[in-house]
Chain A
Amino acid sequence: MKELRIPKKKKNKLVKKNEKAKKISVLFLSPSILGVLVFFVIPFLVVIYYSVVDNPINHSFVFFDNFRNVFFNGAFRQAAFNTMKFSVIAVPLAVILALGLAMLLDSKIPFRSQFRTFFLTPMMVPIASIVLIWQVLFHYNGMVNDVIGLFGAGKIDWLKSDYAQIVIIVLFLWKNLGYNMILFMAALSSIPKDILEVAVLESAKPWQIFLYIKLRYLSSTLLFVTIMSLINSFKVFREIYLLTGSYPYNTLYMMQHFMNNTFASLDYQKLSAAAIMMSVVMVILIGILFLTESYFGKDVEG
């Protein structure tokens, strides 16, 4: 026993060495932290500051005036409403359809890996390359209208009517389903097989297995997919811009359009207020999703 005790001096040395290593590990972090501070955190704090002063030269404190101005701005409201509407429709669709596709590939069908490749390809293709064909497909005299015509529906001017959002939703789904599907497939394959086998032995119905076992195990993935889809749904400006330019049809006027047009006039106050409102909404949404997840998914670890 006596020999095993570490002499005090030596222990100090070890601790010292550890301390040194700790410092070195901070050194590893420093470039990234420095960059993030300079390019994201500090300017964001400045943005917060800008959002509560009246202009960058005067610096007089106006509290919520900027927010009020932005909030009652017609363009902002339109943009916020359109973005929200789009997200509310597109995100659940993206989650549910992707889950469906994942289950489809999870069942024993032939050519599974080929199908996976096919579903994943749209993710790789830059939107800019595909916009052309989208314009051709959804043109007034285009193929989609022809197909609809077969079912007796009238022609629709897709990009310049209230149906415009449908076009964008289809494009969004086309682009994002593969990514979501991969996430679901990974989650599905990580469900313990013995539980599923027991369920089958206990003659559980397929829908019971799905509802009570699979969904339980998928809950954290569901959360992640929802968050990612939500974020991607805010990025949909890209598609809209490439399809229709800076001034699209009313229902396609998104948050990013508003930001871009405000950038053009360099109204820092408006920009800052809008950015902060958006980030607050984001944080709240993500917080809600996390809370629901920890409420529902706490009994399965994985």
Chain B
Amino acid sequence: MTFRKNTLSGTGTALSDRLYIKKRKRRKRRTFEKRAIATAIAAFFAILFLMPIVLTVTNSFMSASEISSNYGQVFATTDTGGKTYISKKVNLKFIPDIVSFSQYITVLLKSPDYLFKFWNSVILVVPIVGFQLLVAALASYGFTRYRGRIKEMIFFIYIILMLMPYQVTLVPNYLVSDWLNILDSRWAIWLPGFFSPFAVYLLTKFMRRIPVSVIEAAQIDGAGEWQIFRRICMPLCKGCMCSIAILIFIDYWNMVEQPLILLSDEAMHPLSVFLSKINSGEIGLAFAVATIYMVPTLLVFLYGEDYLVEGITYQGGIKG
């Protein structure tokens, strides 16, 4: 390259060099076109991905009458189940005619039902995130130090348990809750959540990457196991813990199966289940409630996107 540049800046340009320049220009143009197409495709997908979210948010600013005139029939027909279609169009609108906060005012001030359900979600999810992390931090330290055959086998069981779908794990969960008499109480969801192998798996994989020499150095300096755990492993795992916390949070914030089976009392159901049961009379509120329900996860995402990406990346490569 340097050689060619030198000859170019010289007095005469050889034929081969001129050809070279032409080729480079053409290639440049072609890569530009390619890049434009790639960007266009990406933009198309981005719009597709964002549209439902944006629509939900904008529609939450419509007044109740506007929503029922636009979408009333959608939710009316889902109730009757019959084919009673009116030829009237469903008016999907990106921007409300009049921006109104009446939905939010109703949800937040006038009908406490939704706030209760929101609070149910919070109270179900937050302890799970905290305790699962705590249990996992201890356990993954145990899995990292003094690895032996038995520990590896146990860890393998954890992986299999983690991979099992709900359809399998819910039956054992139900049985235990029945034995312990915690069915229909929040403990039925909390306790299996606390001991879920998911966080253990991820954190162990991360902790095993800490160089042994660091830990050994501490040991030589006279640190006990607890001190090594508390003073060395935990600070090093802070970022990873954040990632896992986010992953757990999204998963449980979104839960539907567990409350449906383990909590028969609908008063304790989280908002995620309750949202689907909103009747057509209150459909105007639904968008506002949906938006409110999205807010915590979106905030977490806003502040922790990099942690989230990191967390997902740790998950990859299951054999570690």
Contact = CB atoms under 8 A, between A and B. Distances in A.
A288 B256 CA distance: 30
Contact of A231 (B42, B88, B165): B165
Interface string A19-51: 001101111111111011011111110110000
Interface in B276-298: 276, 286-287, 290-291, 293-294, 297-298
B85 A29 contact: no
B42 A41 contact: no
A33 B139 contact: yes
Contact of B256 (A25, A125, A177, A242): A242
A64 interface: no
Interface stretch (A4-12, A103-111, A195-203): A103-111
Interface in A90-126: 101, 104-105, 107-111, 115-126
Contacts of A35: 135, 191, 194-195
Contact of B197 (A36, A120, A223, A241): A36
Contacts of B315: 183, 224, 228
B275 A33 contact: no
Main secondary structure of the interface of A (DSSP, over half): helix
Given A28-B142, A124-B298, A130-B290, A241 B45 contact: no
Nearest to B48: A174
A130 B49 contact: no
B46 A259 contact: no
A52 interface: no
Interface residues of B, number: 102
Contact of A237 (B39, B78, B141, B257): B257
Given A234-B167, A242-B275, A275-B168, A183 B50 contact: no
Nearest to A181: B312
B56 interface: yes
A186 interface: yes
Interface in A138-176: 139-143, 146, 157, 174
A258 to B, nearest CB: 8
A118 B78 contact: no
A132 interface: yes
Q: Which of A38, A40, A47 has the most CB of B within 10 A?
A: A40
Given A39-B195, A43-B176, A104 B42 contact: yes
Interface stretch (B96-104, B107-115, B154-162): B154-162
Contacts of B319: 220
Nearest to A254: B167
Nearest to B92: A143
A53 interface: no
B172 A129 contact: no
Given A120-B305, A263-B174, A28 B45 contact: no
Interface string B132-173: 000110110111011000010010011011011111111111
B114 to A, nearest CB: 12
A124 B300 contact: yes
B248 interface: no
A184 to B, nearest CB: 9
Main secondary structure of the interface of B (DSSP, over half): helix
Contacts, number: 292
Interface in A200-239: 220-221, 223-225, 227-228, 231, 234-235, 237-238
B273 to A, nearest CB: 7
B74 A142 contact: yes
A137 B312 contact: no
Nearest to B283: A132
Contacts of A259: 167, 170-171
A217 to B, nearest CB: 11
Contacts of A105: 42
B308 interface: yes
Given A25-B225, A39-B172, 5 more contacts: A26-B142, A109-B38, A142-B92, A186-B316, A278-B168
Interface of B: 34-35, 38-39, 41-43, 45-46, 48-50, 52-53, 55-56, 59, 71, 73-75, 77-78, 83, 85-90, 92, 135-136, 138-139, 141-143, 145-146, 151, 154, 157-158, 160-161, 163-176, 191-192, 194-195, 197, 200, 224-226, 229, 250, 253-254, 256-257, 260-261, 271-273, 275-276, 286-287, 290-291, 293-294, 297-298, 300-301, 305, 308-309, 312-313, 315-319
